[in-house]
Amino acid sequence: MEQEEQIIRTEYSELMQKSYIDYAMSVIVARALPDVRDGLKPVQRRTLYDMYELGIRYDKPYRKSARIVGDTMGKYHPHGDSSIYGALVVMAQEFKMGMPLVDGHGNFGSIEGDGAAAMRYTEARLMKITQEAYLSDLDKDVVDFVPNFDETEKEPEVLPVKVPNLLINGAEGIAVGMTTSIPTHNLGEVIDGVIAYMVDPDINTEQMMQYIPGPDFPTGGIVANKDELLSIYSTGTGKIKIRGKVEVEQAKGGKERIVITEIPYTMIGANIGKFLNDVYGLVETKKTNDIVDITNQSSKDGIRIVIELRKGADTKNLINLLYKKTKLEDTFGVNMLAVADKKPETMGIVPLIRHHVDFQYELATRKYKTLLAKELERKEIQEGLIHACDVIDLIIEILRGSKNVRDAKACLTTGETKNISFKSEQSEKEAATLTFTEKQADAILEMRLYRLIGLEIEALLKDHKKTLANIAEYESVLGSRSVMAKKIIKELHAFKKEFERQRRTVIDNLEAVVVEEKKPEEHDVVFLMDRFGYAKTIDTGTYERNKEAADTENRCVIACKNTDRICIFTDKGQMHLLKVQDLPFGKFRDKGVPIDNVSNYDSSGEKFIYLTNLAAIRGKKLLFGTKKAMLKMVDGAEFDVAKRTTAATKLSDGDEVVFLREINGEETIVMKTEKDFFLRIGVDTIPEKKKGAIGVRGMKLSAGDFLSDIYLVRQGETVIVPHKDKELVVSNIRVGNRDTKGAKK
């Protein structure tokens, strides 16, 4: 009989919410965020553990990266080789890690953004610090092991890291709905901070910063907002302002050159190329005329970007300009988020160190419990062997009189003698008193005869004495938190002595840069924009020589100053301001740039109705006409604003601007609709409104009809327009009243 299908009814939104939360937590805990205890993401932890399992130690030969990646993917991390190799590469890059964990051999990329060679070409092995401070106690049951993805292997839930890796190497990760961004720090300073916390668990953030004054980036540089670090380290969030290090060198002929020797941490990779392009941009847009050349002379020995200056250049102002306009000064967003107790938590520097220290006590407790258990087992066996040496003749007699091992072992452990042949009654009585333990009996039965040599017995007694001393030491450590703390601190001092590096990042309070921008020399230019929306400026002499071609080939020709701004009015009622100096100035046949690129105008979503020079409309009136025949006049001074985009007029739903021109107040206008209705009115009947007003109705429209155009008729002027395959003299239309229907032509 077939089982009936069971339908479970549930609320769709609740099911989606639960499923998404499950997915999000999986990404947060198992992929993107580091664990606060070892400071590693799962892919990093698995890669390092796999290298440890493969025996790729710091004092052993390098092994192919492909072997490491393949083994890690097959055993522990089934998420693709690119993520594993990417993690391996980053852990070997000195310019990204505060303390590299992998010793890479081959091309592992460069600070300028060059990628690493394929994994089949590169080789790797563990660094000494990784082996000694991250993996050394895995054999002492200090951490829990969990099944891997297919339950064929075991992997550590967390590595027994003895230094605060989360601070030393920092972290970057994007999870679902949250990100982590922790800067790198100096190993020696962080160890001092941990020791200070162990001595005084009530230490506050300000006191902690006497030991850990701030981040220490592998690229060096300068932290410019020292006073804000206290707030950042208290809350775990904030922005660190970092600058590159700049030196001024003397060149030939009395010239100077600016040399960048250290870059902000955020500039590593492709951002170095972007910085060079930004400097080129400063020259092209005439923000500075002091730069003659820029070259990137960086090598494996360090960063060296050289900017050659012209003679008499204002070096200090130019350095400030580089800080202001390029990534030479940048911000590092701090969000000290990590997985603590299997949930994400943002924490300051003291709570982060507290989690690390608690983990160290847990590691030490498990380590010394394991060591104590081994020493107690060793003590038991040693005592059995020592006692066996004292009664060795009896034991030999028992062994010779036994028929099998089981009988001999029973005699040694319980004094059972009935299945054993003895030479004398005395021997049997002595054998009946034996009470060796199971482990002691096994050790005796496996003992070799050479252990009966006098020197070997002395060595056994010496080992026993050492075992008793170890037991006393381990019990002392486990019985006293202060003794355990001394052990941990002693180990931390050893790590600091061997692996400490000098601080590379300077921490200071620097004033915000002030750039004295020299005003460009004002001169007359002509703005040209062709039918494709490409704009440029040329000098007036060039325009006069090419006037006929310029007027016929371009949609817009405006005489202006190079310091002026161009107003772009669009059908959506917006006005975009475009600085003339942002446009390329050059030859008549130069292509120019799309106005989309130098203003907020978007040619894909709006079309321009009118372009004019802002200086030309000050003191004048602008007439607006819309598709729904709404009219108004606006004072041109209202458009002299600082914002790059502003609302030029208010539109009702479905309406758009179809006409906009400057007027002097003496004209008449002729409105034309889609259905060929014409109405002529005087502009004096159109009220002046603010740019935020909607205007008044110019003419009545029949259902489905819209205003299509407006013609401006000046006094005594004849205006002829094409209409129905013939010409219409609109200046002959009689002047009517505003808000009437007009006549059909």
- Taking phi first (over 0 means left), then psi (-120 to 50 degrees means alpha), and beta for anything else, what does residue 109 get? left
279 and 326 Cβ atoms separated by less than 8 Å: yes
Q: What is d(CA 624, CA 657) in angstroms, rounded to the nearest whole number?
A: 7
Is residue 121 flagged as an active site residue?
yes
634 and 690 Cβ atoms separated by less than 8 Å: yes
- Element containing residue 525 per DSSP (H, E): strand 524-530
Look up residue 599 and give its two tokens.
């203003």
Q: Helix (H, G, I), strand (E, B), or coil: what is residue 468?
A: helix
701 and 739 Cβ atoms separated by less than 8 Å: no
**The tokens 């040693």 sit on which residue?**
382
Reduced 3-state DSSP string for 358-381: HHHHHHHHHHHHHHHHHHHHHHHH
**The tokens 């769709």 sit on which residue?**
12
Could you say which of 121, 265, 280, 610 is catalytic?
121
Q: What is d(CA 490, CA 487) in angstroms, rounded to the nearest whole number?
A: 5
For the stretch 472-476, contacts whose Cβ atoms lie closer than 8 Å and that sit 24 or more positions apart, written own/partner, are 474/368, 474/371, 474/372, 474/375, 475/372
End-to-end CA distance of the chain: 85
Find residue 257's DSSP bridge partners.
249, 308
**Neighbour-count burial for 562-578, b at 16+ CB within 10 Å, e otherwise:** bebbbbbbbbbbbbbbb
Reduced 3-state DSSP string for 470-510: HHHHHHHHHHCHHHHHHHHHHHHHHHHHHHCCCCCCEECEC
Spatial CA neighbour of 385 closest among 456, 323, 330, 337: 456
Q: What is d(CA 654, CA 287) in angstroms, rounded to the nearest whole number?
A: 43
Q: What is the DSSP-derived secondary structure letter of residue 732?
A: G
Q: Helix 349-390 crosses helix 187-199 at what angle (to 10 degrees)?
A: 80
Spatial CA neighbour of 397 closest among 434, 432, 422: 422
Q: What is d(CA 546, CA 167) in angstroms, rounded to the nearest whole number?
A: 66
Look up residue 369 and give its two tokens.
């419990």
Q: What is d(CA 516, CA 514) in angstroms, rounded to the nearest whole number?
A: 7
631 and 621 Cβ atoms separated by less than 8 Å: no
| 459: amino acid identity, one letter | A
Spatial CA neighbour of 628 closest among 609, 605, 610, 653: 653
Give the helix, strand, coil percentages of the chain, each rounded to 5.
40, 25, 35
193 and 476 Cβ atoms separated by less than 8 Å: no
Catalytic residues, by residue number, are: 121
